[in-house]
């Protein structure tokens, strides 16, 4: 029986009224949805079942739609590579020359940094595990800036994980399904990221506003800000690890300070999701415990800052030291000097000849070590001398140092 | 447009024809434009297709169905784009309500006048969204980003005009 056949069938209601009534009901539903949801994008539960379902459906659709686009882009790049090969080659050669110089500086600074960290006893971060993912959908309006990545809870992704591209920080995970996760970009109006300015060590909050360049809010720096200042994550609050590249400070059209994001340098098609939740996962004593002190690079180390493992008072036991020096092929004049003066020079020689990371460890069992083992008093000096001997042996002509896996304790986030 | 010239003119208006097909095409276009590509270094624009439908449906005829269809489509956009649930439905319903209130003034007007009306309704919808987002996020969204999406949505008016032309004469009672 249709409605028209019922007792209410004769009632005439203007269509405009019924449309208005439907409109009011729909508005009430929309407002209720707005008022009742959790506005914390990272809080568990904010990402409800409907979003999981839509994301799960969207994932294969987005992959299928984006695949031809990627193929076309790859084809265009392939053809363009032929036309611009010469100029690109020149540019790459110039960049390579700069990179070599930077690499040399970086190597020296890494060794020095590791040494200083060990001396100061700074707990350093273990390497962060990460997984690669492909972005399959993008929204970049004024009210929402998110992306969908094709890695989810099945790969270990959880809400809050930072997401980076090969250029810099992209955002963080705000929703996870089994095989797909949603990334809240730094440009989203609800994104807030604690950052630091490298030049001034100033702190700020990077606030997305839906535009391409997020704003720097709550800026705290005594020196001031300049265009071109580098911006990194500060790690404050524990949402992001410290030191992820974010971008460069620019002056916005509104006169305020904004950040041109590094991740905008190229299309964000492939990303890395860092399996980092907060700093509690880094505070593992076992992971943070230093296993080996990096090789010293200083000629005259200050005994007051030397670490306990090597700064113990060295008893004056010249006999084993002389034996060690003789076995190591050191000049007699050096061998006659006190051990405390001689050992650093031997280390310096080894450091200048062989890279510290590839230096052969002191496992050659020199004769001096056997001699010293008979005397308990001579153990510290002999151990140090044995290290010198092995270093000197490594520095000798014709000796090929065995490659040794890096035991660096600090971890730069892989980009 | 006469009653015999447009597609569907003179025929009965099935909900599939004037609601179902446009909303399907709108969702399809939205999904297509969400592909993460760049052209000459710029992201492709993401116009809000359902706003054109909200304008057209309010002009075609008053009905109970469009508000709920717009509600569902808005929720889809919220979920698909990762926004606040309820934001886009409120924007669409605002535009629909505004056009419905003045539909007798708009109907039959010149193309440019109708486009201006569409621009005003769209601006109202974006203003509501801007205000709601400002309250939720605690900060004002970028007017530049808003302007780009607004312009991209304005370009959709020919589609809305075409839809109105196809169905407004289907039932003379609603003229």
Q: Do B67 and A26 touch (CB under 8 A)?
A: yes
* pLDDT category of residue A357 using cuts at 50, 70 and 90: very low
A-chain CB neighbours of B34 within 8 Å are 62, 137-139
Name the least confident of A207-221, A273-287, B134-148.
Answer: A273-287
Q: Does B45 touch chain A (CB under 8 A)?
A: no
Nearest of B44, B137, B174 to residue A140 by alpha carbon = B44
Nearest of A115, A145, A123 to residue A242 by alpha carbon = A123
pLDDT, mean of residues A135-139: 86
- Residue A205 pairs in a beta bridge with A194, A217
C-alpha gyration radius of chain A: 31
What are the structure tokens assigned to A124, written together? 């350093």
B-chain CB neighbours of A26 within 8 Å are 67-68, 70-71, 89, 93
pLDDT, mean of residues B143-163: 92
In angstroms, the CA B78 to CA B89 distance is 8
pLDDT at A231 over 90: yes
In degrees rounded to 5, what are phi and psi of residue A243?
95, 5
Q: Do A30 and B90 touch (CB under 8 A)?
A: yes
Output the pLDDT for position B51. Answer: 94
Residues with Cβ < 8 Å from A29, sequence gap 6 or more?
B71, B86, B89
pLDDT, mean of residues B113-141: 93
CA distance A137 to chain B (A): 5
pLDDT at A409 over 90: no
Q: Is the complex ipTM higher than 0.90?
A: no
* C-alpha to C-alpha distances, A200 to A195, A224, A236, A256, nearest whole angstrom: 12, 7, 16, 18
Q: What is the pLDDT of residues B31-61, one digit of tens each?
A: 888 887 777 667 778 899 999 999 999 998 8
pLDDT at B132 over 90: yes
In angstroms, the CA A143 to CA B8 distance is 37
Write down the domain spans for chain A. Answer: 84-122+291-415, 127-278
Mutate to test the interface with B, among A189, A208, A212, A250 (most CBs of B within 10 A): A189
Query: Dihedral (C-alpha) A247, A253, A254, A258: value to the nearest 10 degrees?
Result: 0
pLDDT at A248 over 90: yes
Q: Does A191 touch chain B (CB under 8 A)?
A: no
For residues A232 and A243, the answer to whether their CB atoms sit within 8 Å is yes
Q: Which of A23, A34, A137 sits opposite B84 (nearest CB)?
A: A34
Residue A164, burial from CB neighbour count under 10 angstroms (0-12, 13-18, 19+): buried
Q: Does A151 touch chain B (CB under 8 A)?
A: no
pLDDT at A170 over 90: yes
- According to the per-residue pLDDT averaged within each range, which of A82-91, A137-146, B94-103 is highest? B94-103
pLDDT, mean of residues A282-289: 56
* pLDDT category of residue A53 using cuts at 50, 70 and 90: confident
What are the structure tokens assigned to A32, written together? 């209720």
What are the structure tokens assigned to A106, written together? 């970086």
Taking residue A373's Cβ as centre, other Cβ atoms within 10 Å add up to: 14
DSSP letters of B79-94? HHHT--TTHHHHHHHH
Output the pLDDT for position A7. Answer: 67
* pLDDT category of residue A48 using cuts at 50, 70 and 90: low
Q: Does A44 touch chain B (CB under 8 A)?
A: no
**Number of Cβ pairs < 8 A linking chain A and chain B:** 176
Mutate to test the interface with A, among B28, B61, B82 (most CBs of A within 10 A): B82
Q: Do B37 and A69 touch (CB under 8 A)?
A: yes
Output the pLDDT for position B6. Answer: 43
Q: What is the pLDDT of residues A93-128, one digit of tens each?
A: 999 999 998 888 898 888 888 888 777 776 666 677
What are the structure tokens assigned to A33, written together? 């949805």
B-chain CB neighbours of A138 within 8 Å are 34-36, 43
* C-alpha to C-alpha distances, B28 to A61, A68, A114, B76, B88, nearest whole angstrom: 11, 17, 54, 12, 17
Nearest of A277, A353, A313, A346 to residue A42 by alpha carbon = A277
Output the pLDDT for position A45. Answer: 53
B-chain CB neighbours of A62 within 8 Å are 31, 34-35
* pLDDT category of residue A39 using cuts at 50, 70 and 90: low
CA distance A159 to chain B (A): 14
Output the pLDDT for position A304. Answer: 58
Q: Do B34 and A253 touch (CB under 8 A)?
A: no
Output the pLDDT for position B5. Answer: 41
CA distance A165 to chain B (A): 14
pLDDT at B174 over 90: no
**Which 8-state DSSP code applies to residue A29?**
H
Q: Do B64 and A22 touch (CB under 8 A)?
A: yes
pLDDT at A49 over 50: yes
Taking residue A249's Cβ as centre, other Cβ atoms within 10 Å add up to: 23
In angstroms, the CA A18 to CA A22 distance is 6
Q: Do B67 and A23 touch (CB under 8 A)?
A: yes
pLDDT at A415 over 50: no
pLDDT, mean of residues B138-150: 90
CA distance A171 to chain B (A): 14
DSSP letters of A35-54? HHS---SSSTTSS-HHHHHH
A-chain CB neighbours of B18 within 8 Å are none
Residues with Cβ < 8 Å from A266, sequence gap 6 or more?
A165, A166, A167
In which region does residue A316 sit, left (phi positive, over 0), alpha (psi from -120 to 50) or beta (all else)? Answer: beta
The residue that leads in pLDDT, B168 or B20, is B20
What are the structure tokens assigned to A359, written together? 């230096």
In angstroms, the CA B128 to CA B54 distance is 15
**End-to-end CA distance of chain A, in Å?**
68
Name the least confident of A24-38, A265-279, A312-326.
Answer: A312-326
pLDDT at A296 over 80: no
pLDDT, mean of residues A397-401: 44
Q: What is the 3-state secondary structure (H, E, C) of A198-211?
A: CCCCCEEEEECCCC
Residue A243, burial from CB neighbour count under 10 angstroms (0-12, 13-18, 19+): middle
- Residue A183 pairs in a beta bridge with A147, A173
Output the pLDDT for position B94. Answer: 95
Output the pLDDT for position A334. Answer: 41
B-chain CB neighbours of A29 within 8 Å are 71, 86, 89
Residues 46-85 of B with CB under 8 A from A: 46, 48, 61-68, 70-71, 74-76, 78-85
A-chain CB neighbours of B24 within 8 Å are none
* pLDDT category of residue A79 using cuts at 50, 70 and 90: confident
Q: Does A392 touch chain B (CB under 8 A)?
A: no
For residues A189 and A209, the answer to whether their CB atoms sit within 8 Å is yes
Output the pLDDT for position B129. Answer: 94
* pLDDT category of residue A346 using cuts at 50, 70 and 90: very low
For residues A356 and A311, the answer to whether their CB atoms sit within 8 Å is no
Residues with Cβ < 8 Å from B91, sequence gap 6 or more?
B48, B51, B74, B125, B126, B128, B129
Give the CATH number of domain B15-174; options: 1.10.3470, 2.60.40, 1.10.1760, 3.30.450: 1.10.1760
Q: What is the 3-state secondary structure (H, E, C) of A226-243?
A: CCCCEEEECCHHHCCCCC
Buried (b) or exposed (e) across A48-73, using 16+ Cβ within 10 A? eeebbebbeebbeebbebbeeebeeb
pLDDT, mean of residues A80-87: 83
Q: What percent of chain A has pLDDT over 90?
A: 18
Nearest of A156, A106, A140 to residue A272 by alpha carbon = A156
Q: Does B146 touch chain A (CB under 8 A)?
A: yes
B-chain CB neighbours of A34 within 8 Å are 84-87, 90, 132, 136
pLDDT at A408 over 70: no
Q: Does A38 touch chain B (CB under 8 A)?
A: no
In angstroms, the CA A271 to CA A244 distance is 14
Chain B residue nearest residue A213, CA to CA = B142
- According to the per-residue pLDDT averaged within each range, which of A341-345, A397-401, B50-54, B79-83 is highest? B50-54
Q: Which of A30, A37, A211 sits opposite B142 (nearest CB)?
A: A211
Mean pLDDT of chain A: 70
Nearest of B113, B124, B110 to residue B153 by alpha carbon = B124
In angstroms, the CA B86 to CA B71 distance is 8
Residues with Cβ < 8 Å from A58, sequence gap 6 or more?
A136, A137, A148, A180, B31, B80
Mean pLDDT of chain B: 85
Q: Do A26 and B84 touch (CB under 8 A)?
A: no
pLDDT at A308 over 50: yes
In angstroms, the CA A203 to CA A197 distance is 6
Taking residue B88's Cβ as centre, other Cβ atoms within 10 Å add up to: 31
Q: What is the pLDDT of residues A210-223, one digit of tens each?
A: 888 999 999 887 77
Whether the CA torsion A313, A319, A324, A330 is positive or negative: it is positive
In angstroms, the CA A343 to CA A336 distance is 12
CA distance A217 to chain B (A): 11
pLDDT, mean of residues A389-405: 42
pLDDT at B107 over 60: yes
Q: Which fold has domain A127-278?
A: Thrombin, subunit H (2.40.10)
* pLDDT category of residue A322 using cuts at 50, 70 and 90: very low
What are the structure tokens assigned to A284, written together? 């593992």
Q: Do A142 and B81 touch (CB under 8 A)?
A: no
Q: Do B100 and A19 touch (CB under 8 A)?
A: yes
Q: Does A39 touch chain B (CB under 8 A)?
A: yes
Q: Does A167 touch chain B (CB under 8 A)?
A: no
pLDDT at A147 over 60: yes
HSE-CB for B19 with a 13 A CA cutoff: 18
pLDDT at A240 over 50: yes
* pLDDT category of residue B15 using cuts at 50, 70 and 90: confident
The residue that leads in pLDDT, A408 or A311, is A311
Output the pLDDT for position A139. Answer: 86
Whether the CA torsion B14, B18, B23, B26 is positive or negative: it is positive
* pLDDT category of residue A82 using cuts at 50, 70 and 90: confident
What are the structure tokens assigned to A340, written together? 């405390």
pLDDT, mean of residues B115-144: 92
């Amino acid at each position: 029986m249709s409605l028209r056949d019922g007792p209410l069938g004769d009632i005439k209601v203007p269509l405009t009224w019924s449309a208005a009534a439907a409109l009011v009901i729909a508005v009430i539903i929309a407002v209720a949805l707005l008022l009742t949801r959790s506005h914390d994008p990272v809080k568990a539960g904010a990402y409800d079942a409907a979003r999981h379902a839509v994301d799960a459906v969207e994932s294969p659709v987005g992959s299928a739609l984006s695949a031809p686009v990627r193929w076309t882009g790859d084809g265009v790049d392939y053809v363009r590579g032929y036309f611009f090969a010469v100029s690109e080659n020149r540019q790459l050669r110039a960049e390579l020359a700069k990179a070599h110089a930077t690499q040399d500086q970086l190597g020296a600074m890494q060794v020095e940094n590791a040494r200083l960290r060990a001396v100061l006893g700074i707990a350093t971060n273990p390497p962060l595990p990460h997984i690669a993912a492909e972005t399959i959908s993008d929204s970049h309006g004024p009210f929402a800036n998110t992306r969908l990545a094709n890695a989810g809870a099945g790969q270990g992704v959880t809400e809050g994980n930072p997401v980076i591209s090969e250029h810099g920080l992209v955002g963080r995970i705000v929703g996870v399904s089994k095989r797909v996760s949603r990334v809240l970009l730094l440009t989203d109006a609800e994104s807030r990221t604690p950052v630091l300015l490298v030049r001034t060590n100033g702190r700020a909050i990077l606030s997305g506003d839906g535009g391409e360049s997020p704003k720097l809010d709550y800026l705290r720096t005594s020196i001031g800000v300049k265009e071109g200042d580098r911006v990194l994550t500060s790690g404050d609050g524990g949402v992001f690890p410290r030191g992820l590249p974010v971008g460069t400070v620019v002056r916005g059209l509104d006169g305020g300070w904004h950040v041109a994001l590094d991740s905008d340098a190229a299309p964000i098609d492939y990303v890395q999701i860092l399996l980092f939740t907060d700093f509690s996962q880094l505070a593992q004593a076992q992971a943070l415990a230093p296993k080996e002190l990096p090789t010293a690079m200083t000629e005259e180390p200050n005994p007051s800052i030397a670490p306990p493992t090597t700064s113990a008072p060295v008893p004056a036991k010249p006999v084993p030291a002389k034996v060690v020096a003789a076995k190591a092929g050191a000049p007699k004049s050096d061998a006659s000097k006190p051990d405390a003066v001689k050992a650093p020079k031997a280390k310096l020689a080894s450091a200048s000849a062989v890279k510290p990371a590839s230096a052969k460890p002191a496992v050659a069992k020199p004769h001096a070590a056997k001699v010293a083992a008979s005397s308990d008093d001579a153990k510290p000096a002999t151990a140090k001398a044995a290290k010198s001997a092995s270093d000197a042996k490594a520095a000798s002509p014709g000796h090929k140092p065995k490659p040794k896996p890096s035991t660096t304790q600090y971890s730069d986030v892989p980009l | 447009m006469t009653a015999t010239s447009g597609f569907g003119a003179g025929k009965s208006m099935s909900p599939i024809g004037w609601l179902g097909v446009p909303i399907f095409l709108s969702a399809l276009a939205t999904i297509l434009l969400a592909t993460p590509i760049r052209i000459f270094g710029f992201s492709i624009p993401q116009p809000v297709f359902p706003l054109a439908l909200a304008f057209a449906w309010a002009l075609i005829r008053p009905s109970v169905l469009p508000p709920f269809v717009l509600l569902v489509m808005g929720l889809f956009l919220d979920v698909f784009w990762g926004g606040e649930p309820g934001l886009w439905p409120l924007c669409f319903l605002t535009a629909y309500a505004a056009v419905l209130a003045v539909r007798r003034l708009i109907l039959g007007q010149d193309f440019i006048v109708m486009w201006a009306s569409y621009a005003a309704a769209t601006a109202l919808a974006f203003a509501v969204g801007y205000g709601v987002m400002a309250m939720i996020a605690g900060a004002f969204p970028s007017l530049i980003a808003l302007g780009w999406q607004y312009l991209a949505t304005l370009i959709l008016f020919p589609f809305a005009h075409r839809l109105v032309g196809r169905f407004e004469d289907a039932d003379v009672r609603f003229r």
